[in-house]
Structure 1
């Protein structure tokens, strides 16, 4: 086991599977104890398979396998009070908090004129309010610890528009701005805040009806399909690739990096 974040405690939201699970496991492999939370349920608008309690249990198993401690909770990041209770309980059990990874998020692709109020509400409440809630319950613990790192998972869609995803793109630009705003005010407490902007990642978000929805939208305006193309000759990245970036931002290797956008995006935002 490595030690790049040895002795630290991390909070990871949306940790039942995919990118959140990879983040939790990677941090544990490098010495952190982890608080993992996930809704483990389906939102009405989501077209892909939703996480389950069994998925979160598997994350717990994988973290435990590294030899680190883990505390898990099934909680909706949109519920501030329940999230605070879960995080406070985890901090009490593990002895502190040093790293916050606000990863929980959803994506619902639709042409602009097919976006319903329910879709807009689900995406914004999860991807924006949920991230804000995560910082609000995590940051006070970092203040008390005398510093730490907060990592907000945005998207390439937070740097360059992704078509047929108006609510998602809106939310991810908001997360980018949120990271900068929090970085400014929390800097007095030696807390760094950065956003991460991946390209497409090979996670369950791409399962179920997700790809069909995207292809259907592209068929209505094929010219915009090229906007999903990576500069590097890869169609999709892996969750572990993004977890390496999260680990870097969580570790002291990035001790002077704050208020920045880090983009493990295979060049999609420049292409």
Structure 2
């Protein structure tokens, strides 16, 4: 029997990337799954393609191929009306919401002097106000049933610094504040509230051209040029973690294996947040190699 047998999980941002991975991992453990996504571009501010209806439908197909039940709903997490409709339809279909994974978000990589009010508002609306609008209609059902697990996707950028991510970092830090406040308020109802902090994760968002350009230091950056600087953010010898690595942490926080765990921020970052001061080891090695090559040419 799966660890989530007879439970229902609602996952935002389920069209692809981490959200799709969460849906598949939770379904493989017996959960009924409801996935939502905006399924349309946000062309004014987001410089990469967002998930489509076809992506969301493919997530549902993959869940059902595993033998699970999946309800895929186009919904904008920034809309209270959309999310109330999602909650109502989930309760109608499955009778409960036992797990909520607030996973959606956008990232826009621009230095401070290019962060317009429109960009700032769009990122904060999606990454902080959106999570609140997702969780608010779910809480009354969890309070009524006297149980539930809420898992927010924050980021290592919420607790350490990255260039060109001021709005994203501020919003993700706000998610941690929301998580801790809700953990305090909902604990007496046996509702647990936690967050995962992904490091660099191999998703379409990370591999979007805007992010590749940021790592490359200019336009036209290929993925190969991203491997070294991305690995330099981690202690372990990898350039990024995979979506399933985050999903395994979500599974732990969603399951009864963490039944007394609440109010924590769990990094899945290959050591990013434990980087010691100074030049990262991989960078120091690369510098030494280049110095040796230059010395040999003299």
What is the TM-score normalised by the length of structure 2? 0.85
Residue in 2 aligned with 1:28? Answer: 27
Cα drift, residue 218 of structure 1: 7.8
SS at structure 1 position matched to 2:260: coil
Distance 2:231 2:212 in 1: 17
Report if aligned partners of 1:164, 1:217 keep a CA contact under 8 Å in 2.
no
Cα drift, residue 202 of structure 1: 0.6
Residue in 1 aligned with 2:120? Answer: 120
Distance 2:143 2:112 in 1: 41
Check if 1:73 corresponds to 2:77. Answer: no
Residue in 2 aligned with 1:42? Answer: 41
Residue in 2 aligned with 1:160? Answer: 160
How many residues in Structure 1 have an aligned counterpart in Structure 2?
265
Distance 2:69 2:18 in 1: 20
Distance 1:109 1:197 in 2: 18
Larger RCO (alpha carbons 8 Å, 6+ apart): 1
Distance 1:267 1:131 in 2: 26
Check if 1:249 corresponds to 2:253. Answer: yes
SS at structure 2 position matched to 1:97: coil
Choose from 255, 259, 266 the match for 1:262: 266
Larger Rg: 2
CA RMSD of aligned residues (A): 1.7
Q: Which runs of 5+ in 2 are unaligned?
A: 220-228, 276-298
Cα drift, residue 82 of structure 1: 1.4
Residue in 1 aligned with 2:288? Answer: none
Task: Point out 4+ residue stretches in structure 1 off by more than 6 angstroms.
Answer: 225-228
SS at structure 1 position matched to 2:134: helix
Cα drift, residue 58 of structure 1: 0.4
Alignment of 1:68-217 (within 5 A): 68-215=68-215
Cα distance 1:227–1:238, how it changes in 2: closer, same or farther (>3 A)? Answer: closer
Report if aligned partners of 1:108, 1:165 keep a CA contact under 8 Å in 2.
yes
